[in-house]
Structure formats: C-alpha cells, structure tokens
Homo-oligomer: A and B are copies of this chain.
Amino acid sequence: MSQPQHDGPNPVGEFDLIRWIRDRTPSAGPTVLGIGDDCALLRPSPGAELVVTTDMLMDGRHFRLDEAGAEAVGRKAMGVNLSDIAAMAARPVAAVVAVALPTRDGRAVAIARDLHAGLTAAAARFGVTLVGGDTNAWDGPLVVAVTVFGETTPRGAVRRSGAKPGDAVFVTGPLGGSLLGRHLSPEPRIAEALALHAAAPLHALIDLSDGLSSDLGHVLDESGGLGAVLDAGAIPVHPDAVALSARDGRSPLDHALSDGEDFELCFTVAPGDADRLAAAPPEPARLYRVGEIVTRPGLWLRQADGSLTRVDPSGFDHLRRPPQGA
C-alpha cells in the first residue's frame, strides 16, 4: 500500500511527535483532559458501566508492515478493539494507544504519522477520541497496543455466558477467507450490536475473531457447558472462503467455520425474538440464522439429510497455530 502524504514539517523527537499528535486529535465527548498529561481524564455517564478491552498487534504476526502500510495497521488495531466493544453491545467512547516504532530504516516518525492517521480515521467513524498513549522506538518490529473504553446502554452489557437451550444462533455476515485481505479492514459491528440489543434482549454475544467454531465454543463453555447444532446449509460462506478453498483444497464451509478475523457478531436469542428479528432485521444489521443452542454439549453440524457430525473447535489459538495474515 502506498504511503499517504502529509503536509508541514516532519516532527522530530518524542515530545515533538506527541505535540504533533495532540494538535491533530480533537477533544470531544466525555473527555475532560486528553493527550499530554500523565493520564487522560474521562467523565463517565451517570449510571453507565464501563467496558474495557485491549488488543496488541505485532508486525509479522497480525500484519506485514511492508505490505499493508502503517495506516492500514492503525485501522486494524483500532478496528479489532472496537469489535470487542461491539461484542458487549456497548458504545465506544475513548482509546489509548501504546506503540513500539521500528527505528531500523529511519522511518519511525513517518510510520508513527501514518499509524496515527489510520487509528484516528477508524476511531472517528465510531465517535471515539484518542485520549492518550505511549510512544517508544526500538530496533524490533512495529508493535501496537490499543485499549478502548466504552459505556453500556441502559440495557446493560451482553456477555458470552447467557446462552440458553432453545436459543437461536445468528451471525451478522458471511464468514471465512479473511486472510485474503479482509482481516486488515475489520468493520466493527457497533451500530448493528446496539440496534439488535435495543430490538430484543440478546442472551449471549461474541465477535468472531478466532473463527465461528472456536468463538461459539467459548459461548457454549461460558454458558455452563451447552451445545449447539449448526445447519450446514445456513452458514453464510464468504466468497473469499471459496477462493481460498480453490487454493488449499479445504472446503469453503471449513473455512467459514474455522478461519478467524471475520469480525462479524455471533449471538443467541430466545426463539420468539429470533423469529421477529429474522423477519425484520433492525438496520443496519444483516442476519443469518445458523442454528440453535442445545443441552447436549459440543458443537454439531446438521446436514440437509438430518445427520449430525461433531465439529472440532478448531479456531485460532495464538500459542498453538501459525497466524493468519502473517
């Protein structure tokens, strides 16, 4: 990806860079004090609970800086965190960013500027203010750690642990093959989560970062050891999963079940609410009803002929499997 152009003199040194960032970061919303002091100061909305999430992205592991460019890295780093806020059906408010900039080729400051452009572009789309951070440089690869804060709506946060037998299982978009490039441009389903939670009490909610089989497995575990039956024909398969299947011989459905970094939502609701949501999905959500929660533990795939096969929770484990996108 080409590097965006910037006007004005190049900032030099850490304090200049912090000033440069501060000058380009609007202070808004509940921010009392933004970049430039020892801490940021925020004023929580009365009655709201605070949701907090953090995700770290490393060059060679979650992206390749040389291929993606620092601006895309910034958008991904902010996007994956916003996706976690969506996964609680909360409203994102503010973010802090810690970064280790690579000094090797003398481009640390240029990388910082492009990274900042990507971070703030992704943040601004969702009303999030960058309120603080920590800028470091070293001779290692680029590392970006983002922490995002949000607030619950009056309906409260939706956890992973609330699934009930009989619940319908939904996902919000086609799955699989994000490795072909989509993993760099997560679309946090913030508006979708808020609209869905306002339309019906969601029982359990998670974003699909590790893969449907793995992430739904977390919901089943956290909900007391339940199971789920997924209808093989109902799972929306992304064209990228088909394209990847043609390369590696694994079926498109396998990619849809196992690939990570889709950043769609997966949720469960009571059957009556499910019928209502499926008939008239609240804007801007797209809905795919893919199965139901059962008492028998495990994840099961139901074929058109009614036969059941067990699915391994074969999603992405960072300590076990080679990374996606690296």
Chain A residues within CB distance 8 Å of chain B: 12-15, 17, 32-33, 36-44, 46, 48-56, 58, 60-62, 84-85, 87-88, 90, 94, 96-101, 108-109, 131-141, 143, 145, 147, 149-150, 152, 157, 159-161, 205-207, 222, 317-320
Contact = CB atoms under 8 A, between A and B. Distances in A.
A132 B32 contact: no
A37 B84 CA distance: 9
Nearest to A326: B138
A9 to B, nearest CB: 15
Copies in the complex: 2
A157 B41 contact: yes
The 7 closest A-B pairs by CB, nearest first: A145-B145, A38-B87, A56-B98, A39-B51, A147-B147, A44-B44, A39-B53
A138 B46 CA distance: 41
Given A88-B39, A147-B147, A56 B317 contact: no
A154 B276 CA distance: 48
B38 A134 contact: no
A236 B51 CA distance: 43
Given A13-B320, A157-B33, A136 B56 contact: yes
B58 A138 contact: yes
Nearest to A319: B14
23 contacts: A14-B318, A33-B157, A37-B88, A37-B222, A38-B206, A39-B84, A39-B87, A39-B150, A41-B51, A42-B49, A52-B131, A53-B132, A54-B98, A54-B132, A54-B134, A56-B143, A56-B145, A60-B139, A62-B136, A98-B147, A136-B318, A137-B319, A140-B143
A77 to B, nearest CB: 11
Nearest to A316: B14
A253 to B, nearest CB: 23
Contact of A40 (B52, B133, B319): B52
A53 B40 contact: yes
A37 B150 contact: no
Contacts of A87: 38-39
A54 B97 contact: yes
Nearest to A159: B37
A49 B41 contact: yes
Contacts of A55: 98, 134
B319 A109 contact: yes
A3 B111 CA distance: 37
A159 B159 CA distance: 36
Contacts of A131: 52
B160 A37 contact: yes
A46 B48 CA distance: 10
Contacts of A41: 49-52, 88, 152, 157
